[in-house]
Structure 1
Amino acid sequence: MEAHLDDARLHVVAPPGSGKTVLGLEFMRRLAGPSLVVAPTRTIQSQWAERLRQDFAAGAADWISLDLRQPGLVTITTYQMVDQVMSQPGAEPVLAALRTLGVQTLLLDEAHHLKQAWWQSIIDLRKRIEGVHTISLTATPPYDSSAAEWERYIQLCGEIDMEIPVPELVLNGDLCPHVDLLYFEFASPEDLQQRASFQSQINELVADLLHRDSLAEQINKHPWLLDPEAHEADIYAEVEWFSSLLIYLHTRGARLQPELLELLDAEAGELPCFDTEWAQVLLRGIVSKKQRSLWPQDFVRQIEALLKQHGAIERGHVHLLPSHARNRRLMRSATKLRSIEAIVRVERETHGADLRLLVLSDYIYPEFLGTHCERSRNAKSLKLGAVPIFERLRQLGDERVGLLTGSLVIIPASAAPTLLDVCCERGLSPADLRLEVLEALPDYRALTLLRGASRQLVPVMTETFARGAIHILSGTQALLGEGWDAPCINSLIIASNVGSFVSSNQIRGRAIRTNPSSPLKVSKIWHLVTLTGVPHDEPDLDCVRRRLKTFVGPNHREAAIQSGYERLGIPASILTPQQCAQVNDEMQALSANASWIRQAWLGPANAPDWKGLFYRSIQVKGRKLMHYAYLWRSVEAVLYGAALSILGVGFDAFRHMLSGGRGLAVWGMLLLMLLIGLLRIAPDLWRALRLYRQYGLTGVTADRVGRSLFRTMHALGKFDEDMPEQALTVDRFMGQVSVSLKGGNRMDRHHFATAFLEMMGPIRSPHYLISSVTSARSTYFPFPELLRGSEAERAELLRQAKRLMGNVRLVNCRSREGRRVLLQARACSIFNEWEDAGESLSRWE
């Protein structure tokens, strides 16, 4: 630990439930002095105090303080309180008390909260307490933050000193074996009808736009098209919108001026068709504040009226694709109550009296309690929330269902004796609580803790739950989704719509803690998905995909631990109720197979050297923190698909011939079917040729870019550990390309992968571009931020790229010529659909 404190900061990343609190206590002990612990919520603040009292019972009450204005040997407060104190004129007396006390340690728990809020107050506090050491603990560093947020975060917490991966913690017994499972349900007919109606309106709108001569006339009069050279800087800043103007005119059959196409380094035949996505780009630009003044105001009002007529404008924003609000209705569909009920039945059968199941949702909806019981069976009025879930499960006949939210707490009447015992053990008297009989629910009691005992509400309910007086608990992720310590949970149903890495990881962490009372604990995390049955329009599934992107768990089809949705082995699309039922059956079977879950993490019982089979390798399919890259929008992928299409048609013809066909008729049929096959693949073949013109064979490009980058980082000493070039591998299969660095430490692989994905990813606004020019095409690669710091670093990457890629040059995108090149590069990136090149994966095998 001392080796990491040379800058007086220690930054530790470990999953929820892995013992960060114990780690923090050990750091405080070693630094030997008064400490200030800062937590994000009062619940977590209370848990720190509880842990200290458990571990240091003798006299703990004398030296623990929960009041920042009256600090003690260990003061535990919240970020909100620090912000409140530091933002007021009366901060100096509090700071003076901390300095007089001689605070040595500032411990920031769940430090990811500091990426946006409270960070300035914490920095001010640290500056005004001399000699303090900062220890930052988090399970979820804000990798998905903006560059500014990440810079602030690192400025406060320091670079990550220690990151402990989940597989190591499971192997060491610090986390329990667990598995992610999905349960699918089709949306209600009402929701599907609403989406279909909206899509029909949008299709009519796009068709209307293409036939509007007035729109084409106004676009042709736009200053950017009349004098593009004079507006080159504006076009550079809005290349996507400028492209939408040309795409609209081209789709209408207009002949575009060569100088307009030259700006984008494109030919008319390379422009995509004007579809819903391009229509959204075009219309957003027309009604935006920035562009509005460039159009006649009567024309803008006509466009706005047209948008309102087709229901394509919400709160002043144009939405031709389903908006977040429309998707949210689907994601909160009450059909998920059926999924929850089915999961509970399976888990109850599997665990029996040992079941400790938590359902987390986003909202409470107290109006559905009790008296609305009959109404709750009406799917049209029902909503997905803590109370409707409680009602649905209560109606299953299980008398041990509880409700825990910030404003409403309900327990079964049968749990009252256990709860009273817990209160007594925690020093609460009968006068500190009230159990109210519910008229509509005579077998249940509403719980309220009075006066200063309200802080004890969550701990009391947690212990009552752990002792088995409650088997199923419905709650809100706002109260229980972060920092809540309940090791007894062995099943978690996420009925929340959170998709971000930080929030999802915190929720998931409630279930993966080890339970001293149950050494063989295996936990299940259920994710609910509402389907539309429409390819490429599954917003709820997309949310779950994002959620699973960074979580590791067993691969359901092979012996590996990895992240990502693909490890679940679910079909690419589920279009029928039969497919949905089949997948659900498979998930339920896995849920009941605790031995498989345990073995997937810990290995076969007869393989004591299973730990030796694990190696640290991180895969990447995108632009996040990655060490392994898949690029699937490649020429090879398209050609493979085309070849398979032809083979499929040819096989049908050959099978017809074998079934009895004879003579010229059969050969004529074969020729006709092969011709149909060629016509079928013509668009894909054209796209493949277009991609080849821009990028060449992706596998070759990825290999050369990866090796150029590896050699550069190696020559510049960017790797902490020395490794041979053989550590870099490039694999190709069926048009997919994977690049992996199986060597070095975690940060080496992280830095390499980040830089590689910058170069192979979409072109935004880089400072420099690498331009590779051949007789057939020009290819552009963004220069990675990691290596643009000095001229020597830029020169070394360029030197290595020339050795492997031939004629390349460095383009400064801040120069006039560079802006023109960047404009062309960004246009090519948009037209060739290079925006979503992959997705990140972590893998141990």
Structure 2
Amino acid sequence: MQDLSKILKFKFSWRTYQQKFLDGFQEHIKDEHLHVIAPPGSGKTILGLEILIRIGKPTLVLAPTLTIRNQWRSRLMEFFTGDNEFNGYSLNIKAPSQITFSTYQSLFSLSKSFNENAKEKLLAYVKKHKIETLVLDEAHHLKNEWWHCLYHLKEIEGLTVVSLTATPPYDSTATEINRYFSLCGPIDDEIGVPDLIKNGDLCPHQDFVYFSRPEEAQIQYIINYREQILNFTNRLIANTGLQEKLITSNFYTNPKESLEYIYQYPSFFSSVIIYLNSCGYAVNEENLKILGFSNNDVTFPSFTYEWSEIFLQQLLIDQRDNFIDFEDVLLPIEKEMKQIGVLENKRVNFVGDEVLYRNLSNSPSKLESIFEIVRNTDENLGDTARTVILADFIRKEFLNFEGSETKTLNKLGVVPIFKYILAKEATNTSLGVLTGSLVILHETAVVHLKQLLSIKELAVNPMDGSEGYVFIKVPNALKNKIAESVTQLFEDGVIKTLIGTKAFLGEGWDAPCINTLLLASYVGSFVSSNQMRGRAIRVDSKNPDKISAIWHLACLDPTAIDGGKDMEKLQQRFKAFTGVSLRGEVYISNGIDRLVLPLKWSETTDLSTINRDMLAKAQQKSVIGDRWNEAIKKGNILVRELKIPFSQDQPFAKTKRLHALNAGKYVMLEVVLGVSLFVPEFILKNMGAVLNKGIVQIVYLFFVALILGFGPKTFKALKLYFLFGNQYKKTKKIGKAVFEYLLNTKSLNFESNTAVINAEQNRKGTFSIYLKNASQHDSTIFISILEEVIAPIDNPRYLLINGNFIKRKLGIRNYYVVPKEIGKNKTEAIRFKKYWNKHVDGSKIIFTRTLEGRKELLKARFSHLKYQFEEVSQKAITWK
């Protein structure tokens, strides 16, 4: 076997951030895992090659496509081989070499070819060829069946797994996210976008959102849908037949005999109690005693859509066999739910079906949004405008559209977008369409195209309803050449707005001149959108002052206070976008908060003002650049932090009055001052009574007046202190316990000895906690563990319980989770408790897999039902 480090040398100088990463990578690789986020433009492939060279073991590199596989090979030959010809690589997984470049699909096909005992034969094959390093490029591309092969490979002892990605799949389902991170491991390091902008490898940029409302027909459909669900829920709460079945069921009437069942299905049991409480029933006191409560010790939440889903999912689907006696009341409910459309494919869904949200995502109102963005961009940038619009589908059925009546353009796609812009602006000659099967240009652009192709004739057909535009018949022999030439026309400005599909322009296509990207795509994950977004923010050697605008579209659900599914999807997408704040305080962070959008939406929200402001901000190129420069100077590293939001109804400033967590102190100060003024006033006013009635009676009256006058404020002061000040302080204490445990036990390869816990609070009340002077790997571990401790309680193996009477009466949380990784065995859980008791409080630890433990777990979950469907904390990435 050849010594790769002697044969393969990087020919050039490493960029500052690349060198910084390489300097620390040996620390990360100790646990045989390396998971790196490297945005487009950071040289991810070249870094991957350097890593496998330094590891120096036979390596299998897996890529999502043949194009990307070949890119690995070409980067190796171009940047590392020098004068010596290197032949120790292979592109064929069936004939591996010291470095083998292949695809996930090829690995899956190889596994399938083994037929019986495929797993054992695959492992034997890898061991036979002594493959000891596995490089996973963009592992989020994996299809479901491909995961199994990789999990099998991970079982090989001593195999080092290197994962490289530009975009972790944050907007996938929880199952998919967990699967991804269990394969790739926690994130060890991240090359930050600010580093690339600072180094001149990416251009300054800003994300914008253009909002629209659905068409009238869509609004009516949504309103009718919501009304049907509301009416159904009201009928469910009035369903005496169902209520009688439940209150006479064995698990409800004889809870002591059904403990195992109750603790096996805690969410269902909770939903039954919440349902019956909403129906007006005084909840069986025996049931509450089982949970450790008295009747006045529990605050019941409303029977929301979320609780309805749990309740009916269990009754109608998951536990139907356990409720045979309920069939006469369940059948009519089931029938009605299917008619409404909230029960499909054995899943209860009250929030809304995919058809409902697909309607919003695909709303034709977005066509007007696209036109306004394009028009405004052309007006402000003139000949320098270079706009790319990405859609999911071509929609060739709209090719025959004519005229200016755009109502018939009722779907989002390449052709409807093209037709809509022309219907609004018939004189526009700078549009172009480029997809794998459809190319449309203006006649004036065809002349230039022929010159680039060096041909005199090109088969074209006039396009109905689009004067001056023609279809270009693309012969297979010229397919790639025409795509390159159309791209050149875009570079040259003959085409200023290029419309294409995400599939065709989203991968492998490059045009550094893009300065405006419009994402009209809603199918699939945001990963591919981020790939295209990465191309839009690359620097352009011909335009060193390039500043890009990336536009996202959102159609708001008028019946949802949070804006609906489009907004939810955007919030998920923005978790992977690190950018500069749009207005106000200058900072760099991920998440949609940096755009400063309304927290609540309604029919009266003035979208036109928001959109005008977005368009104006998009044209302030110099401001965007200045904000990046100012923000970059404020920090030097991307820090992972945990944000705990201020979730009270009162604005933070009004509740606190002072900046630093002293709401309780403020109110207590009011009490003290009030009492100090009250005492002399009381004595002066009642001097005659003292002489007439005696001192004992006056003291009695004094304390009654004191309690009536200041008791409520005193109680409020205590509660504010515990709910606000204590939450902040306690989170810091929990952070200290987690940090000391990780550091002293060297658990999870945590080694940041010089790290310091830092906590900050902004003016809106949200506070954040993070580690300073820690590696990305250790910051990620710390934040993940901390988040798990304070997250809503689900089903942990171990619980930490504090029985403080005062806190329980004030509704303060007394239950916390021993994190999954720590709670794998009792020894580590008890060790964690030692650090918890040192820094937080004197809690005891409970194993939840016993009958008594299940009881405590259910009590813990039931005590904090208000947390059940709330995101009480969230991870963030901020430049500090």
> In structure 1, the residue corresponding to 2:390 is in which secondary structure?
strand
Q: Does 1:740 align with 2:770?
A: yes
Aligned to 1:788, the other structure's residue is in SS state helix
**Residue deviations 1:28-59 (CA, integer Å, cap 9, x gap):** 77789998754323454566677689879999
Q: Shift of residue 744 of structure 1?
A: 1.4
What is the alpha-carbon distance in structure 2 between the residues aligned to residue 400 and residue 301 of structure 1?
Answer: 60
**1:821 lines up with 2:835 in the alignment:** no
CA distance in 1, matches of 2:215, 2:339: 26
Instruction: Answer yes or no: is 1:17 the counterpart of 2:33.
Output: no
| Alpha-carbon contact 1:771-1:779 (below 8 Å) kept | yes
Q: Which of 137, 143, 157 pairs up with 1:109?
A: 137
Which SS does the other structure have where 2:585 is aligned?
coil
Task: Select the residue among 734, 747, 755 that pairs with 2:785.
Answer: 755
Q: 1:320 to 1:689 in 2, by over 3 A?
A: farther
Q: 1:384 deviation in Å?
A: 1.0
- C-alpha distance in structure 2 between counterparts of 1:571 and 1:230, whole Å: 51
Q: Is the alpha carbon distance of 1:524 and 1:383 closer, same or farther for their aligned partners in structure 2, counting shifts above 3 Å?
A: same
TM-aligned CA deviation for residue 576 of structure 1 = 5.6
Asked whether the 8 Å contact 2:34–2:161 carries over to 1, the reply is: yes
- Tell me the secondary structure at the aligned position of residue 379 of structure 1: helix
Q: Does 1:364 align with 2:394?
A: yes
| Distance of aligned partners of 1:831 and 1:469 in 2 relative to their CA distance in 1, 3 Å threshold | same
* 5+ long unaligned stretches in structure 1: 604-609, 619-625, 645-684
1:122, distance to aligned residue in structure 2 (A): 5.8
For the structure 1 residues 587 and 612, does the alpha-carbon distance in structure 2 shift closer, same or farther, using more than 3 Å as the test?
Answer: closer
Residue number among 515, 525, 529 corresponding to 1:490 in the alignment: 515
Aligned to 2:445: 415
What is the one-letter code of the residue matched to 2:504?
Answer: L
TM-score, normalised to structure 1, is 0.80
* Most deviating of 833-842 and 773-782: 833-842
Q: Which residue of 2 aligns with 1:552?
A: 578
Distance of aligned partners of 1:337 and 1:756 in 2 relative to their CA distance in 1, 3 Å threshold: same
- Kindly report which structure 2 residues correspond to 1:764-783, keeping only aligned pairs within 5 A, or say none: 764-776=794-806, 777=808, 779-783=814-818
Does residue 652 of structure 2 align to residue 631 of structure 1?
A: no
Residue 517 of structure 2 aligns with an amino acid whose one-letter code is L
Change (3 A) 1:831 1:423: same
**Residue 351 and residue 218 in structure 1: after superposition, are their counterparts in 2 closer, same or farther (change >3 A)?**
same
Whether the 8 Å contact between 2:189 and 2:777 is mirrored in structure 1 is no
Q: CA deviation at 1:241?
A: 2.1
Q: What pairs up with 1:255-404 in 2 under 5 angstroms?
A: 255-268=282-295, 270-294=299-323, 295-308=325-338, 310-369=340-399, 371-374=400-403, 377-379=405-407, 382-395=410-423, 396=425, 397-404=427-434
Matched residue SS, 2:495: coil
Matched with 1:506 is 531
TM-fit CA distance, 1:770: 0.6
2:616 matches 1:594: no
User: Is 2:635 the partner of 1:614?
Assistant: yes
C-alpha distance 272-439 of structure 1, shift in aligned 2 (>3 A): closer
Q: In structure 2, what is the Cα distance between the partners aligned to 1:33 and 1:830?
A: 52
TM-aligned CA deviation for residue 552 of structure 1: 1.5
Matched residues in 2 for 1:789 and 1:299: separation? Answer: 43
Q: Distance in 2 between matches of 1:253 and 1:756?
A: 39
Q: State the secondary structure of the residue aligned to 1:773.
A: coil
The CA distance in 1 between the partners of 2:193 and 2:311, in whole Å, is: 45
CA distance in 2, matches of 1:386, 1:65: 39
Partner of 1:584: 611
Aligned to 1:672: none
Give the corresponding residue for 2:261.
234
Q: Secondary structure at 2:864's aligned position in 1?
A: helix
> What letter corresponds to residue 567 of structure 2 in structure 1?
L
Q: For 1:457-478, what per-residue CA distance to the aligned partner results, in whole angstroms no more than 9, with x for missing partners?
A: 7555444433434222222223
Q: Distance in 2 between the 1:96 and 1:316 partners?
A: 41
Which of 203, 211, 218 is equivalent to 2:230?
Answer: 203
Question: 218-227 or 174-183: which moved more?
Answer: 218-227
Contact 1:43–1:484 (Cα < 8 Å) also in 2: no
8 A contact 1:634–1:697 mirrored in 2: no
What is the match of residue 475 of structure 1? 500
Q: Distance in 1 between matches of 2:488 and 2:506?
A: 17
Name the structure 2 match of 1:671: none
CA distance in 2 between counterparts of 1:442 and 1:385 reads: 20
Partner AA of 1:411 in structure 2: L
How much does 1:737 deviate?
A: 3.8
**Is 2:714 the counterpart of 1:706?**
no
Q: 1:166 to 1:49 in 2, by over 3 A?
A: same
Matched residue SS, 1:231: helix
Shift of 1:306: 3.0
| 8 Å CA contact retained: 1:634, 1:691 | no
Q: Provide the residue aligned with 1:538 in structure 2.
A: 564
Alpha-carbon distance in structure 2 between the residues aligned to 1:687 and 1:205: 40
Q: In structure 2, how many angstroms separate the alpha carbons of the residues matched to 1:152 and 1:281? A: 24
CA deviation string 1:491-541 (max 9, x = no partner): 111112268563443342231222222222111111111124442353222
**In 1, Cα distance between equivalents of 2:516 and 2:598:** 24
SS at match of 2:319: helix
After TM superposition, give the deviation of residue 723 of structure 1 in Å. Answer: 3.0
In the alignment, the residues of structure 2 paired with residue 536 and residue 769 of structure 1 have an alpha-carbon distance, to the nearest angstrom, of: 33
Local SS of the residue matching 1:288:
helix
After the TM superposition, which residues 655-734 of structure 1 pair with which residues of structure 2 at under 5 Å, given as runs? 697-717=726-746, 719-723=750-754, 725=756, 727-729=757-759, 731=761
Structure 2: runs of 5 or more not aligned: 1-21, 659-713
Q: For 1:367-402, what per-residue CA distance to the aligned partner results, in whole angstroms no more than 9, with x for missing partners?
A: 011x1234x844365111122112223442322222
Distance 2:150 2:627 in 1: 42
User: Deviation of residue 336 (structure 1)?
Assistant: 0.6
Question: Which deviates the most, 561-570 or 69-78?
Answer: 69-78
Greater shift, 519-528 or 469-478, is seen at 469-478
Q: Secondary structure at the match of 1:270?
A: coil
- Matched residue of 1:728: which SS? strand
1:497 aligned counterpart, secondary structure? coil
Tell me by how many angstroms 1:98 deviates. Answer: 12
> How far is the alpha carbon of 1:15 from its aligned partner?
0.8
Which position in structure 2 is the counterpart of 1:662?
Answer: none
Q: Distance in 2 between matches of 1:642 and 1:194?
A: 43
Helix, strand or coil for the counterpart of 2:283? coil
Deviations 1:91-117 (CA, angstroms, capped at 9, x unpaired) = 999999999999998754323324845
**Aligned equivalents of 1:57, 1:414: Cα separation in 2:** 46
Inter-partner Cα distance in structure 2 for 1:420 and 1:5: 53
Q: Check 1:752–1:108 CA distance in 2 against 1; reply closer, same or farther (3 A cut).
A: closer
- The offset of 1:729, in angstroms, is 2.3
Between structure 1 and structure 2, the one with the greater Rg is 2
The answer as to whether partners of 2:783 and 2:875 remain within 8 angstroms in 1 is: no
Structure 1 letter corresponding to 2:780 = H
Structure 1 pair 712/47, CA: closer, same or farther in 2 (3 Å)?
A: closer
- Taking the aligned partners of 2:149 and 2:576, their CA distance within structure 1 comes to 30
Q: Which residue does the alignment assign to 1:798?
A: 833
Distance (whole Å) between structure 1 residues aligned to residue 237 and residue 330 of structure 2: 17
Deviation (angstroms), 1:209: 2.0
Query: After superposition, what is the alpha-carbon deviation per residue over 1:129-159, rounded to whole angstroms, capped at 9, x for unaligned?
Result: x999875431123466788867865676566
2: CA distance, partners of 1:739 / 1:309: 48
515, 539, 555: which is aligned to 2:540?
Answer: 515
Match of 1:40 among 54, 64, 73: 64
Q: Structure 2: how far apart are the matches of 1:318 and 1:159?
A: 33
For 2:564 and 2:715, the matched residues in 1 are separated by: 28
Aligned-residue CA RMSD in angstroms? 4.5
